[in-house]
Structures are given as C-alpha cells and as structure tokens.
Structure 1
Amino acid sequence: MNNISWRGIRAFLLVAEHGSFTAAANVSRYSKANLSQLVSDLEAALSVQLLVRTTRTLRLTEVGEGYFRQCKEAMAQLDAAADWATQSTSTLKGAIRMNTVGGVIGEDLVAPLVMAFQEQHPDVSVQVNFSSARVDLIENPFDLVIRMGELPDSSLLMRRLQTIRTRYVASPDFVAKHGAIIRPEDLEHVPLIYGSVDQWVLRRGAEQRVVKVGGGLNIASGRVMRRAAIAGQGVTRLADVYCQGDIDARALVEVLPAWSEQTQLSLVCPPSRHQLARVRALMDWIAARFDARYQAAMRGN
C-alpha cells in the first residue's frame, strides 16, 4: 500500500457514500476535520483528485468514481475474509443478511425455514428483508438473496429452488358471465386484477402478446388478488403456489393455459460470502427443504 492508509480509504468511502463530510462524521467515529485530513492525505498519496469540494456541494471526480467502486468491492472482500478467518470451525455463529420476495413465498415458505434453522443454530442471527425489488449483491450488504427470473451475473453462486408457473385465473362465475377467454386479446375486454406491473407479456413458444392493464382492480398483494379473483372481480395473474389449491377445488379456473409462463426461483450468494460456513449451511438448509414446503402449499396444506 506504500503511503496509502487504510484509514484514508475508509474515510473516503464514508464521505462518498454519505455525500458530505458532515454526514459521514455523524455516522462514524471520525470528526469532520479528521475525515477531511484523511481524504486529503489519500489524494496526496495517489497524486489524484478524488473529490470536488465547494462551500455547498461535494462530488466525486471521474477518477474518484472508479476508485470508489473498486475500493468498496475490495473492502467488502476484506471484511468477508476477516469474518471467515475468525469464524468458529465447530459452532455456527454470526449474522446473515437475507433478502427475499414477500407474500406466500417469502412469508409462508422461506420464513419458517429460516426460523427452524435459527432454532437449530441459536448463535446465528438471520436478518430477513422482504421486498420485490431486485438488489445488487455487490452494492448491497446481503449475504443471500432469493430471486425470480434469470440470473445475468454469472459470477454469483446460485442454487435453483423451484420452477414457478404463472397462471391466468378467474372464478367460474366470472367466466360464465363474461364468456370464454380464448385469446390474449380477450383480456382487453374484461376487468383485470393486477399488481405493480402495468402490462402483461404473454408468451407461447415463439409468439408474444402484450396486454396493457388499466382500470379494473390494482392491488399490490398476491394474497388479495387471489381473494378478489375468487370473488369474481376479474382475471388475475398469479404464481401457481397462490392458486393451484383453488383450481383443484374449482374456486378458480385457469384461462389461456397455453400462455402460462415458467419462472425460475433461485437462492443466490456472492462468492465472498459463500466462504462462510453459516451462509453455506443456511443455503443447504433452505435448498433441501424448500420443494417439500412448496408442494404442500400447492396442495393447500
């Protein structure tokens, strides 16, 4: 590192992440003056300007932006290495930060598995964040993420959990009232129940149809969308785990079955975190038990 101080790099990361020396000082053990001196010393050691300072604003230079990205990734790897070096070889302990989709999958299937794991390993603290937003495992502090869809970043470690089938369903009374739905275009003439997606993309082999959704019933909850469909409020689009039991019980009927879609559900981990025994253990625990819970939920159990 020559004359480059670890304290200087961490000070620079703090300031860059929080947008000002004042904000960085408020969340750290450094004073504003101390942070400023550390960053200035770092710039002098590198012989480059990392930050542009004015009386009112602070921004990264082009070099500063690149240095910030690489240092943040490097620090994350160093922190993971320190964590790995100090972990016990006989007892699992430490924190695991996890992000997963919510609803039935996250709350009814994943959460009980996490609770059972933590009961078996009381020295492990699992923090679960439920959200549908896709997170970047490099930029965000999560050790494990459960994701829907394809995984573009091949550097991440992945365990496939389930292939989910998305189905279009309505109540028998609704279909009797509005007539059979044979083509995707028929969806444009009936009430729809939908969430945050403002258009449905239907695929059948090489064919694709796009149906714009609007009006109808807009509900950002798969559970409530299911109940609304059973009540005859419209056609909705649900993962099979939400509606298979209702289809079997004839509370719902599937429309456009040839246009149903398959989506991969995966458990994803960055390589630096997979080195930790507790993270690997939770991955193995969930992967070994998830399918049985999923199939039980499909049966309505």
Structure 2
Amino acid sequence: MDKLRAMQVFVRIVEANSFTKAAETLGLPRAALTATIKNLEAYLGTTLLQRTTRRLALTPDGADYHAQCVQILEAVEASERTFRGPAAAKPRGTLRIDLPEALGRHAVLPHLAGFADAWPELALTLSFSDRVVDLTQEGIDCALRVGELQDSSLVGRQIGSMRFATCASPAYLARHGTPQTIDALRAHQGITHFSGRTGRPFDWDFVVDGKLVKLSVNGRVAVNNADANVACALQGLGITQAALYQVRGHLERGELVALLEHTPPAPMPVSLLYPQGRMAAPKLRVFAQWVTELLAREPDLRLNNIS
C-alpha cells in the first residue's frame, strides 16, 4: 500500500465529505477510494470513517489521524516547493472560505475583486453563515468568526476587533425620550438579537470604569440577523446595539443617534480559523495576509483599535 497516497485520498474524502465528490476531484473511480480506505483501516487496525446513507463522520481515531495526515502532507508539499522553484509557491486551486453573514457582505465582499485579480489561478468558494461550521467535515479551508473562540482542534488567530454602538432612530427618541444611563435603558424598547443557533438572546454589554456591565434586553421585536437588527432600529422599533461598521453611515447621516457614548459596548475579537498545518498552503497564506490587511484599514474593525 502506498501510504502517502492513502493519506492523500483519506484527507480528500474528509475535505469533500463524500466518496463520490472526492473521486471526481481525484479523477479516480469511487470503488478505488473505497478500497483504499478499507485497506488503510485494516493496516491501522481502526475505523477512520463512519458511513451512513446521508453523510460521513470521522471517528475519534479518524479525527486524530486526519490532523496528523494534514501536517505530514503539508510538510511534504513544503519540502517539494523548495525544489520546484517559485512557480510552485503560487496560489492555485480552490480556496473555500466561510464568513459571518453581515461581516462577509459588508466588510469583505466589496473588496474581493481586488484579491481575485491579484491571484487569477485561485478559485474562490464563499459561504455566508453565523452557525458553527465544521471546517474539516465540510471541506472548508478557513473561516472568519466574531466573538470568543471555543476550545477546538482548529488554529485561531485574532486579526481584528469589532466595535459596537448603542443607538436608536431620531423618531424613536422623539417618542420615548433619550436614556442618559444604563439603568434608564430598562424602561425602553430594545431590539433583541438572538442566536440563530441556540435561540438565546444576546445581552447588551457596556464598559464602565474598565468593568463589563451586562443588561438583558426588553422589547417587542427580536431578530436573529445583524442586518435585520439595524433595519428595525432605522424604522424606530427600538434601541439596539450593532456593529459600528454597519451603522457608521447611518450615524453620520443622522438616521441613527449614538447613545451612552461614555459607556461604550465592549469590542469583540474577529478571528481567522483554519485546521492545523494548513497555513503552509500558499492559497491560505495569501488570503490570511489579505484579510488581515483589509481589517487593519477599517477603523471599526482593526485590531486593538483605540477610540
């Protein structure tokens, strides 16, 4: 058995989450991939993949072996690039990226043409979601995520810091008055932003004398989408906390009014996530550099921004 080839086949099946799709990309019959995995599992003496009619899933041994295979294959690729010359280091192939819905649409997508023009041999597959994505199972190379990262086998690198604003429309404030303190917010209508994954509402938070103060939101309107959150505030349905990059234009045009600016919401980290060992790949390396520089140019998203 060609162990290196078996590793490549195994990793490709995991990335594609399908024997059929992996066979198509490798230009091999599906039966050949099935036989390779069967022989590999017999050689290792363990089950790597659990197969059902609907999906594939890594076993615990399979997940460990996959992580090691990725590192080994990346090391082999890096070694070969040393001898193949500059052409081998050019980004090519398909880069699969998962982006938060609002951040992806408003902060990344408007600039994507520049990245695509810089690397014409690179194909881009973008998904936009706020759910927890299994990069390994779904064959995604990297993801941008907002908030504190959960423990995982992925590598997480903070590349930005998202700032927020508490705000409301002039029409809402004319009807209900302008709150001057955090406690005064309790008597107001707040637009609740809840998690589409868990259904739980997000608390509002404020930094007071260097300490974090949380507030549960009361209101008649609840949404699970950042753009809908801002749209509701523009219609005068209540006070909201929203990402500053989303509402800055509305604030400058007077369509929204910033509140309690002396106690701003706490910023949230923006991180780039990717499987261990992947950063050696030229396609991921150039994207990581580009998106890091992109956020650094945005005053409301740059890392360690001081207002």
- Do both share a fold (TM > 0.5)? yes
Query: Which amino acid is 2:86 matched to?
Result: T
The Cα of 1:146 is off from its aligned counterpart by 1.5
Query: Partner residue of 1:299?
Result: none
Identify if the C-alpha distance between structure 1 residues 167 and 49 changes in structure 2 by more than 3 Å, giving closer, same or farther. closer
Query: Partner residue of 2:63?
Result: 69
- Is 1:262 matched up with 2:267? yes
Distance 1:12 1:109 in 2: 32
DSSP-derived class of the 1:290 partner: helix
From 68, 78, 86, the counterpart of 1:89: 86
After TM superposition, the structure 1 = structure 2 runs for residues 85-124 of structure 1, keeping only pairs within 5 Å, are 85=80, 89-90=86-87, 91-103=90-102, 105-124=103-122
- Is 1:125 matched up with 2:123? yes
Distance 1:8 1:289 in 2: 35
Identify if the C-alpha distance between structure 1 residues 222 and 14 changes in structure 2 by more than 3 Å, giving closer, same or farther. closer
Identical columns (%): 20
After TM superposition, the structure 1 = structure 2 runs for residues 22-101 of structure 1, keeping only pairs within 5 Å, are 29-31=29-31, 35=34, 39=38, 45=43, 65-81=59-75, 84=78, 85=80, 89-90=86-87, 91-101=90-100
DSSP-derived class of the 1:237 partner: strand
The Cα of 1:275 is off from its aligned counterpart by 0.7
Conserved? CA contact 1:11–1:38, under 8 Å: yes
Distance 1:13 1:278 in 2: 17
Conserved? CA contact 2:20–2:30, under 8 Å: yes
Query: Partner residue of 1:217?
Result: 221
Query: Partner residue of 2:242?
Result: 238
The Cα of 1:236 is off from its aligned counterpart by 1.4
Q: CA offsets per residue over residues 140-197 of structure 1, 9 Å max, x none?
A: 5322221212345697262523x22122211123123212324444444333223334
Distance 2:49 2:252 in 1: 62
After TM superposition, the structure 1 = structure 2 runs for residues 74-223 of structure 1, keeping only pairs within 5 Å, are 74-81=68-75, 84=78, 85=80, 89-90=86-87, 91-103=90-102, 105-137=103-135, 140-151=138-149, 156=155, 158=157, 160-161=159-160, 163-197=161-195, 198-204=201-207, 205-213=210-218, 216-223=220-227
Normalising to structure 1: TM-score of the pair? Answer: 0.71
The alignment of Structure 1 onto Structure 2 pairs a total of residues equal to 279
DSSP-derived class of the 2:248 partner: helix
Question: Which stretch has the larger CA shift, 84-93 or 241-250?
Answer: 84-93
Conserved? CA contact 1:9–1:71, under 8 Å: no
Distance 1:271 1:8 in 2: 16
Conserved? CA contact 1:25–1:35, under 8 Å: no
The Cα of 1:36 is off from its aligned counterpart by 8.3
The Cα of 1:239 is off from its aligned counterpart by 0.4
Conserved? CA contact 1:184–1:211, under 8 Å: no
Question: Which stretch has the larger CA shift, 111-120 or 152-161?
Answer: 152-161
Distance 2:50 2:245 in 1: 52
Distance 1:206 1:154 in 2: 31
Identify if the C-alpha distance between structure 1 residues 73 and 52 changes in structure 2 by more than 3 Å, giving closer, same or farther. closer
Query: Partner residue of 2:297?
Result: 292
Distance 2:215 2:278 in 1: 39
Conserved? CA contact 2:97–2:142, under 8 Å: yes
Identify if the C-alpha distance between structure 1 residues 45 and 117 changes in structure 2 by more than 3 Å, giving closer, same or farther. closer
Query: Which amino acid is 2:127 matched to?
Result: N
Name the Cα RMSD after superposition.
4.2
Identify if the C-alpha distance between structure 1 residues 4 and 277 changes in structure 2 by more than 3 Å, giving closer, same or farther. closer
The Cα of 1:30 is off from its aligned counterpart by 4.2
Gaps of 5+ in 2: 24-28, 196-200, 302-307
Distance 1:255 1:286 in 2: 31
Identify if the C-alpha distance between structure 1 residues 280 and 30 changes in structure 2 by more than 3 Å, giving closer, same or farther. closer
- Is 1:251 matched up with 2:237? no
Normalising to structure 2: TM-score of the pair? Answer: 0.70
Identify if the C-alpha distance between structure 1 residues 217 and 13 changes in structure 2 by more than 3 Å, giving closer, same or farther. same
Identify if the C-alpha distance between structure 1 residues 124 and 186 changes in structure 2 by more than 3 Å, giving closer, same or farther. same
